[in-house]
Structure 1
Amino acid sequence: MPAESRLGDGARLALTTLTIAPVRAGRVDRATAGTAMALAPAVGALLGVLTAGVLLLLDPLTAPLVAAGVAVAVCALLTRGLHLDGLADTVDALGSYRRGPAALEIMRKPDVGPFGVVALVLVLLVQAAALAELAGRDRAATLVAVVTATAAGRLGVTLACRRGVPAARPEGLGALVAGTVGPLALAVGTGAVALLAVAAVPGRAWQGPLAVLAALAVSAGLLRHVVRRLGGITGDVLGATVELVTTLVYLGLVLSG
């Protein structure tokens, strides 16, 4: 397949997988999936621009926490809430202390258990509180900070899909994307998001990149645990990774702010 065609198909797959964008799907295979997962941080940056736009538009009109809550809700709407659903399912499976097929069966159930509920509440509270804090900063820095966090969350997906990480099931999204991202694509994505993060905290050029790298390190450690427990990654694990990394980066950007 020509590189231009694979890039276009990968961009479409990234958008249809990670957002509600009404984009017509192109070719779908593992090569295209690898391109899509490598482009995930770019999709996250686009979502960040939209989320920051809502935050900055509403901030002068209402309380910062209200503006932040609406911004978090809009971001969830733009992703169909799938990442939040993946977070709840993954935490429920891990909280059950079961392994392999038994844990995967818990993830398949449509209901949300107590572990999942707690995880959702904590993540949404932290994200809203962090956005409320960011809203009080310079508007340009706020925009960069939100874009950094949302791009980093999707960079977590790129990390989870790197070569050597297996799929937990022979079917589904995890089977399509697991092990499809090469080291060069991961390095380029990490460098791009870290470079963007330099401007996320005025006066502290180091804080943004450190927040991104620390969040990815935590995500990598959790990913190893998930692979041991489940046997590999699933679409739910990818969603949980998005929310975990995004939340940790937000935390890192507002600490000592």
Structure 2
Amino acid sequence: MIGLQTIAVAFAMFSALPVPQFAWNQKNMRYAMCAFPLIGVVIGGLWCLCGALPLPMPAKAAGFCLIPVWVTGGIHLDGYADTCDALSSYGDREKKLEILKDPHCGAFAVIRLCSYFAAYLALCACVDFTPRVGLCWTLALVLERALSGLAVASFPMAKNTGLAHTFATAADRTTVRRVLMVLAALLSAALLALGGWALVLAALLVFARYHVVSNKQFGGITGDLAGWFLQKAELWMLAALCACQWGGLL
């Protein structure tokens, strides 16, 4: 019962999918970050379904682009936009954290979101869907969430409030770290075996940058920064996927 509630907490917080309603508590939030990668499985399954349907390429590209937004409800894009605004301010640490809390969308957030979707849609249009490609992308979607959860359980927090702090405080951080490290290693090995080494490299490079930027610019991570990482990782892994196809690796 606790296991199902843990999965439901992860889906309720990080997706727009309907889940049973119940009270959140210390027990069912303790391992919620371990269940977070399962959302990647759902997105990957729908992504593969879209790829397998007899649709014209523009329709498939639109589906590939929009499925993650529909499933997540845009929660990570919201963090991406806020973080882009904060980084573009070139203010001090306190100023950046204040911008993250501001509910308004600044000019730089709009510019970066438009640029993001232009690049994402263009890359989706370049994908030649095959079952192997679909499997690689599903594994990549799970991997980025495993790394995101690992960061919440490992990186310092920028403040003692907010979504990331709530989950980090409630989590059994040692167990979550171990589970997600093993999961990330297994996913990386599977991608390497399938020829998707460039996707693993892209994810790890963005993860390393996430650690540097969060510490240097913000003094730790926040929920918004977690969303920024996820969207950056997804875009660069998609570029890597296309590069692997162009290079004949997939």
- How would you bin the TM-score normalised by the shorter chain? 0.7 to 0.9
Is 2:225 the partner of 1:231?
no
Structure 2: gaps spanning 5 or more residues = 246-250
2:168 to 158, 162, 178: 178
One-letter identity of the residue aligned with 2:41: A
TM-score normalised by length of structure 1: 0.82
CA contact (8 A) 1:9 1:27 kept: no
Determine the C-alpha separation between the residues in 1 that align with 2:47 and 2:151: 24
Report SS of the residue matched to 2:31: helix
Task: Give the distance between the partners of 1:43 and 1:141, measured in 2 at CA.
Answer: 20
- Residues 1:148 and 2:124 are matched in the alignment: no
Q: Per-residue CA shift, 1:71-97, capped at 9, x if unaligned?
A: 322320221111111101011111112
Alignment of 1:128 onto 2:121: yes
Per-residue deviation, 1:211: 1.7
Q: Compute the displacement of 1:256 (Å).
A: 4.5
The alignment-based identity, stated in percent, is 27
The SS at the match of 2:153 is coil
Residues 1-257 of structure 1 mapped to structure 2, 5 A cutoff: 5=2, 7-26=3-22, 28-29=24-25, 32-57=28-53, 60-62=54-56, 64-134=57-127, 136-138=128-130, 140-163=131-154, 165-178=155-168, 180=171, 181-182=173-174, 183-198=177-192, 205-206=194-195, 208-257=196-245
Relative to structure 1, the CA distance from residue 33 to residue 228 in structure 2 (aligned partners, 3 Å threshold; closer, same or farther) is farther
Paired amino acid for 1:217: L
Instruction: State the alpha-carbon separation in 2 of the partners of residues 80 and 131 from structure 1.
Output: 19
Q: Give the counterpart letter for 1:194 in structure 2.
A: S
Task: String of CA shifts for 1:8-51, please: whole Å, max 9, x gaps.
Answer: 33211111111112212556356644512122222212111112
TM-score normalised by L of structure 2: 0.84
Aligned residue in 1 for 2:248: none
Question: What is the RMSD computed on CA atoms of the aligned residues?
Answer: 2.4
**In the TM superposition, what is the alpha-carbon distance from 1:170 to its structure 2 partner?**
2.0
| Partner Cα distance (2:244, 2:11) in 1 | 35
Structure 1's 100 and 162: CA in aligned 2 closer, same or farther, altered over 3 A?
Answer: same
Distance 2:138 2:210 in 1: 24
Single out whichever of 212-221 and 21-30 deviates more from structure 2.
21-30
1:120 Cα deviation after fit: 1.6
Deviation per CA, 1:111-159, whole angstroms, max 9, x where unpaired? 322332232223323332332222x242x12321331232233123123
Q: Which amino acid aligns with 1:35?
A: Y
Gaps in structure 1 of 5+ consecutive residues = 200-204
